[in-house]
Amino acid sequence: METPPSLPFPSQLEKPSISTRLNTYISTTKVGKHFKLTERNTTFTTELRAGTATFLTMAYILAVNASILADSGGTCSISDCLTLCSDPTIPLTDCKPPTHRVITPTDSCKFPPVNPGYSACLDQTRKDLIVATVVSSLIGCLIMGLLANLPLALAPGMGMNAYFAYTVVGFHGSGNVPYKSALAAIFIEGLIFLFVSAIGLRTQLAKLVPKPVRISSSAGIGLFLAFIGLQSNQGIGLIGYSSSTLVTLGACPRNSRVALAPIITATNGTFSLIPERSGYGAVSADILCLNHKMESPTFWLGVVGFIIIAYCLVKNIKGAMIYGIVFVTGISWFRNTSVTVFPNTELGNLGYEYFKKVVDVHVIKTTAGALSFKAIGKGYFWEALVTFLYVDILDTTGTLYSMARFAGFTDANGDFEGQYFAFMSDAASIVVGSLLGTSPVTAYIESSTGIREGGRTGLTALTVAGYFFLAFFFTPLLASIPAWAVGPPLILVGVMMMRSVVEIEWDNMNQAIPAFVTMILMPLTYSIAYGLIGGIGTYIVLNIWDWGESLLRKLGIKKGIRGNNSHKEASNGINNGVNGDDKTFEV
């Protein structure tokens, strides 16, 4: 007779894991009920993992945003440039004619060879902007997580920072709007955006922009970012200047690059520099390769970083951008190499001393509260403001809706729970960001990474906020990331932003032409605004005749010949449809 199997004692039953018990406990607390963990079929640990994945895919913005915005010069000006002797090795007190002369700073002090005083100011500004990026992102994620309860992360937007730095303010202040006035434009735009979001007009305004322009603008911004990432100033340096073709292959070493200056040829054959005004007479960065193309060590290191990021993206490995940046940056931190970010110069030594601190609580000194409303009466100020507002309405609204659809939050009408506070959170973050000195804050498409990991509540956004808080203490490391480490992420962000082109109706020329004009003008004019203006203008020109015809029909002015002369046609026995051509004569 077989003995029946004995049942296990309660002590022999497998106990729930620590994470399971933690998830069960938190789901029953006020925190779990506030974030609706059970209702949205998620857990506390899942939200933490999702927030970690989101942060890893967007943390590149901490270094990239500060680097791009620092190219505007920030609050630095000629007043920060030091008075030097014609021979930099001679102290100013010993700089006496006729063998030497004192050089009074001009606009050229901001361009290579950069004046030591201006360079030190830029270094301070870059550190300030890293902290501004951290704080604005932190506040945006907190608002999104606590009030909207959505798994969306916010940070200063890619594309808008480039428009701010290279078009509105211009490279080292060579644009039409000073840095402080540009911040004022963002501040006013943020308040308008906040008002528009509060009264519910945001979606309606986004729909006023022509569809092909709306779709192609993100692709155009992607091309713009990729173009920046391919240059030497803020990228890997593959593209250089050519006097005959404008751009050409570059990637030559630092000692093989030279700067350029615009000149005027007089009737007698002599040359003179163009006077420095609005940047037209400014000396460029070292953009011209004299020789040794494709031999730059930093370029090839950047290529390795590009391959690492690209491979991780292909294999769907989380944190792809970070792996590439960390690898390139880590190698660049070694001194006495051909790829070091700390060359044996005065500035290189200062940078290395700051880097060795590792942990440092940096306090914003120059960019916070730097708003100036002196240019509010100028057209360029309002052009920038309107462009900021337009892109924010399109980009942020589109990102919010697409992420909500991806997470399965939207209903039949396209609305989703928490959308009001979601709209308010990024609008409020824009205002905060402008007060700190950074470009507009927006919801990040990289939030899809966290959603893919299972993030469904605001705890994902709060986790991202926690990581941004930790980043606040590591400013020395973030300030030492080189341009050739930033370039690869810019290029690959451009790749990801190009996905929208599949939504364009390329068989319909009314849609395809404005979309293409929008995309191509953004990188080639180095301006998002010009791309938008070109696309919208082209769309209006191509459709204005049809709109006119439609208006005339509605007003009853445009009629067919059959309607006016039907009796006459009948009496003459004429039938316009005999030959199969049912035509009308239009008035």
CA 8 distance to own-chain centroid: 60
Closest among 173, 161, 171 to 136, alpha carbons compared: 161
CA 153 distance to own-chain centroid: 15
Closest among 321, 319, 328, 271 to 297, alpha carbons compared: 328
Confidence at residue 10, expressed as pLDDT on a 0 to 100 scale = 53
d(CA 434, CA 428): 10
Closest among 412, 395, 14, 489 to 206, alpha carbons compared: 395
Phi, psi values for residue 410, rounded to 5°: -80, 150
Mean pLDDT of the chain: 82
Tens digit of pLDDT per residue, the chain (587 long)?
555 555 555 555 567 788 888 888 888 899 999 999 989 989 998 899 888 878 877 887 887 898 889 989 999 988 888 888 877 777 877 787 877 778 888 877 887 778 888 988 998 999 899 999 999 999 999 999 999 999 999 999 877 888 898 888 988 888 889 999 999 999 999 999 899 888 878 777 766 778 888 788 878 878 888 898 898 766 898 998 888 898 999 888 888 888 777 777 777 767 766 654 444 445 566 778 888 899 999 999 999 999 998 999 899 887 677 788 889 989 999 998 999 989 888 778 888 888 888 888 888 989 999 999 988 888 889 988 988 887 777 767 767 776 777 777 877 776 788 888 888 888 899 999 999 999 999 888 778 778 877 889 999 999 999 999 988 888 788 778 888 988 888 888 888 888 888 989 999 999 999 999 999 998 898 777 688 889 989 999 999 999 998 888 888 776 544 444 444 444 444 444 444 444 333 33
Place of tokens 């005999």: 578
d(CA 576, CA 580): 8
The string of pLDDT tens digits covering residues 523-575 is 898 777 688 889 989 999 999 999 998 888 888 776 544 444 444 444 444 44
What distances in angstroms separate CA 388 from CA 175, 393, 439, 470, one per listed residue? Answer: 16, 9, 9, 30
Instruction: Give the contacts of 459 (CB within 8 A, at least 6 positions apart).
Output: 35, 37, 44, 47, 48, 51, 145, 151
Q: Per residue, what are the HEC states of 26-69?
A: HHHCHHHHHCCCCCCCCCHHHHHHHHHHHHHHHCCHHHHHHHHH
d(CA 48, CA 26): 13
Task: Yes or no: say if 133 and 156 are a contact pair by the CB < 8 Å rule.
Answer: yes
Confidence at residue 134, expressed as pLDDT on a 0 to 100 scale = 92
d(CA 562, CA 566): 5
DSSP 237-304: --EEEETTTEEEE----GGGEE----EEE-TTS-EEEPP-STTTT----S-EE-S-TT--HHHHHHHH
d(CA 385, CA 381): 6
Omega cis (within 30) before 113:
yes
Place of tokens 């911040």: 183
Confidence at residue 180, expressed as pLDDT on a 0 to 100 scale = 93
CA 166 distance to own-chain centroid: 12
Task: Yes or no: say if 118 and 347 are a contact pair by the CB < 8 Å rule.
Answer: no
Instruction: Give the contacts of 470 (CB within 8 A, at least 6 positions apart).
Output: none
d(CA 545, CA 448): 42
SS3 442: strand
Phi, psi values for residue 187, rounded to 5°: -60, -50
Q: Which two tokens stand for residue 335?
A: 């001194």
Identify the DSSP state of 286. S
Closest among 452, 205, 422, 438 to 316, alpha carbons compared: 452
Q: Which two tokens stand for residue 266?
A: 């007089």
Q: Which helix (H) or strand (E) covers residue 272, if one does?
A: strand 271-273
Confidence at residue 186, expressed as pLDDT on a 0 to 100 scale = 94
Beta bridge pairs of residue 85: 102
Q: Which two tokens stand for residue 45?
A: 């640990």
Confidence at residue 566, expressed as pLDDT on a 0 to 100 scale = 44
